[in-house]
């Protein structure tokens, strides 16, 4: 067995399970390795983008590349078939375009959609992307990501419309609201004429791995309709999460 590979994987697991960034000394103590050995392994992990170093504090944390690999495995649960019935029901109840989304870095990817039967509807395409901080399904997933990632993201929020949340405090407060109420709202933050509502889908382990949502023109999705639509979206998300557990 390759001892260097084993030690590197053990180090990666240690970083992944930690709630806080860790320094070389802490990692060496936890793993029973020499500090010079840990430092060399960390350099390799950083070079391969599996770990990130906080230069100011000299600590390390797991990077998003590991999350991306986990998402690739997670999607093998085949979320799309599990979501099909819930998406069809959501379309019938709301008559708005339905999206199933996954997070990829700071963007969402639309992996499935059902178009609204209405002549005026939200435009999107399967495989299309949108900035996660601007759309409802993106915010519904972001709200449950780890704090360090969200703090970093909050410092680089590009504006797309007049209602895009670009101030860090506003953005983080919005995520707090989403965690409290269980759904996210896009108030014309990506396309000024399009509103949306999204809710998180959870894996059997309880991790937020995707989101389902509806979007449509602001002439139909108005503030007074948000709570009614949100109830339908949350029910659809819970249905998909239940199918993933079964």
Per-residue pLDDT of the chain (246 residues; tens, 9 = 90+): 568 899 999 999 999 888 889 999 999 999 999 999 999 999 999 999 899 998 888 999 988 777 777 666 555 457 888 999 999 999 999 999 999 999 888 999 898 999 998 887 777 788 788 999 999 999 999 999 988 889 999 999 999 999 999 999 999 999 999 999 999 999 999 999 999 999 999 988 888 999 999 999 999 998 999 999 999 999 999 999 999 887
pLDDT at residue 11 in the model: 93
pLDDT score for 71:
61
Based on the domain organization, do 57 and 104 belong to the same domain?
no
**Domain assignment of residue 56, given as a range:** 3-62
Cβ atoms within 10 A of the Cβ of 206, count? Answer: 10
What's the pLDDT score for residue 160? Answer: 96
pTM: 0.69
What pLDDT, on the 0 to 100 scale, is given for residue 86? 96
| Domain closes at, from 45, 62, 79 | 62
pLDDT of residue 226: 94
Q: Are residues 50 and 100 in the same domain?
A: no
Q: Please give the pLDDT value at position 72.
A: 60
Q: What is the CATH number of the domain that holds 228?
A: 3.30.450.40
Question: What is the pLDDT, as a whole number, of residue 182?
Answer: 96
Alpha carbon 192 to its chain's center: 22
How many separate domains does the chain show? 2
Q: Are residues 85 and 41 in the same domain?
A: no
The CATH number of whichever domain residue 38 belongs to comes to 1.10.10.10
Q: Are 21 and 139 found together in one domain? A: no
Q: Which residues contact 208 (CB under 8 A, 6 or more apart)?
A: 140, 141, 143, 144, 145, 200, 201, 202
Domain identity same for 39 and 56: yes
Per-residue model confidence (pLDDT) at position 99: 95
Q: Are residues 75 and 57 in the same domain?
A: no
């Amino acid at each position: 067995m390759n001892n260097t590979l084993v030690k590197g994987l053990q180090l990666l697991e240690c970083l992944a399970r930690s709630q806080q960034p860790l320094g070389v000394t802490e990692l060496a103590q936890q793993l029973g390795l020499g500090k010079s050995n840990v430092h060399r392994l960390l350099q390799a992990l950083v070079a391969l983008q599996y770990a990130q170093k906080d230069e100011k504090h000299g600590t390390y944390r797991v990077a998003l590349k590991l999350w991306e690999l986990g998402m690739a495995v997670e999607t093998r649960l085949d979320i799309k078939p599990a979501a099909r019935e819930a998406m069809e029901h959501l379309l019938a109840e709301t008559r708005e375009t339905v999206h199933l989304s996954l997070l990829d870095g700071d963007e969402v990817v639309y992996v499935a959609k059902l178009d609204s039967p209405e002549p005026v509807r939200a435009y999107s395409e399967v495989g299309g992307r949108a900035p996660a901080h601007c759309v409802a399904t993106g915010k519904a997933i972001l709200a449950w990501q780890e704090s360090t990632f969200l703090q970093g993201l909050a410092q680089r929020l590009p504006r797309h419309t007049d209602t895009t949340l670009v101030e860090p405090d506003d953005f983080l407060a919005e995520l707090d609201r989403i965690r409290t109420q269980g759904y996210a709202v896009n108030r014309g933050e990506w396309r000024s004429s399009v509103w949306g509502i999204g809710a998180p889908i959870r894996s059997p382990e309880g991790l937020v791995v995707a989101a389902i949502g509806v979007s449509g023109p602001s002439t139909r999705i108005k503030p007074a309709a948000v709570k009614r639509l949100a109830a339908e979206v949350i029910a659809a998300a819970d249905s998909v999460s239940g199918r993933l557990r079964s």
